[in-house]
Structures are given as structure tokens and as C-alpha cells.
A and B are shown apart, each in its own frame.
Chain A
Amino acid sequence: GDSVTQMEGPVTLSEEAFLTINCTYTATGYPSLFWYVQYPGEGLQLLLKATKADDKGSNKGFEATYRKETTSFHLEKGSVQVSDSAVYFCALSDTMYSGGGADGLTFGKGTHLIIQP
């Protein structure tokens, strides 16, 4: 079955540091890949997505590139801020955008990011 593995947290960085959160996946087909963010006390929000190999998703200074050869979708940001402190989830869908119907997302366990001033 499908699965997503992401680095365990918490990850603690100083403000303006470079961020990488690793995510690798296992899927049967050509999945679409997502990063969701959960700020304290709020619901899950879509941060960025990529629907095919070599696509780069980007939003709010965050980027992730869909690497089919390494089955990875690592999240990066060049200079983090205190306001980026949150839990980040990598997720995939086997059928979204593929014409295969719809299915639930498969999520990783989440990575808690703490940015210190």
C-alpha cells in the first residue's frame, strides 16, 4: 500500500536558518504530492503541491520538487521565520488529477518545526 515517511521532529532552528524537511514515499502509480501545514490551534492548510515528476511546488518561500527517481518530495525554505513554527505533513494521493476518481490522502506522521528568535 501507499506510505509516506518524513523526518521525525522536533526540528529546532534559529531564525533565518535554511530549512529542509525530508519526505519519501511509496505508491503504486503516479501520485500527486502535497505539503500541509498545521499552525498551533488551527486546521490543516495546503502549503504546496506537485502533480507530476520534476514539478516544483512553491508558496510563502517554501519549495518542494517532485523527484520520481528518488521517490522524494523534500520541503525547503531559504530563511525561516518564527512564524513558520508549526507541524508540517507530507502527503500523497494516488488518484487526484489522474482521472482515477478520488481517494483519501495518505499522510506522513508530521514534523514539528520550532523556530527560535
Chain B
Amino acid sequence: GAGVSQSPRYKVAKRGQDVALRCDPISGHVSLFWYQQALGQGPEFLTYFQNEAQLDKSGLPSDRFFAERPEGSVSTLKIQRTQQEDSAVYLCASSQVEREQFFGPGTRLTVL
């Protein structure tokens, strides 16, 4: 079956622009996670959904970051008024509850 997909794969934004990153999880996976991976670093947890409920958003770095999963499937990570320090690869992962996470290819965001 299809894996986790993310779009766009690459995004270039001017500082101050808003961006929206999309994640399509594996069909039937209840849990969905977003991570931020800076260059040369490991992924860092941003937020977690179980179905449409956002159960943990403790990793979101500021109130400019917002995530949603309105129908319990596709999720969107939105970053408002982007800044240079937001440049990173944004990874989405999905899983059955309490099981291995399967990662998408990521969206590389570059803020100029």
C-alpha cells in the first residue's frame, strides 16, 4: 500500500509569508505526528493527533505554528509570518496507536 506522502516536497518562502504543508498518512492510521528537522540535527517533535483530536502540541515553537486534522485523515501544518529560523525539513509520521511510526519524505522549507 501507499506510504505517508507530503506536499510540497520543497517550499521557498520570503520572510513574513504564510505557508501550509500537507501530510497524507497511511490509510487507517489513527495517530499522526509532525516533526521539525534542522540541518544536521535529529527530528524534533512538534505535535500529535489521534484521529482529529490534537492531543499534544507541546513541541510547537511559537504561536505562529498551527496544525489541524479536521477529518482525522489529512493534516496541514501552517506557519504564519515565516522567519529564517523556520527553515528546516518538516516530517510527518503516522501509526496505529502505540505502534511504529512510518515517516513521509518530508517538506524542505527554505525561508529567504
Residues on A lying within 8 angstroms of B by beta carbon are: 4, 34, 36, 42-46, 49, 89, 91, 95-99, 101-110
Interface-lining segment among B35-43, B62-70, B75-83: B35-43
Interface of A is mostly: loop
Tally chain B residues at the interface, Cβ within 8 Å: 30
| B59 adjacent to chain A (CB < 8 Å) | yes
Q: Which residue of A has the minimal Cβ distance to B6? A: A43
- Which chain A residues border B100 with CB–CB below 8 Å? 34, 46, 49, 96
Closest to A42 in B: B105
Produce 1/0 per residue, B43-74, CB < 8 A to A: 11110101000011001000000000000000
- Contact yes or no, B40 A109, CB < 8 A: yes
Given A43-B91, A44-B91, A109-B40, the answer on whether A104 and B45 have CB atoms closer than 8 Å is: yes
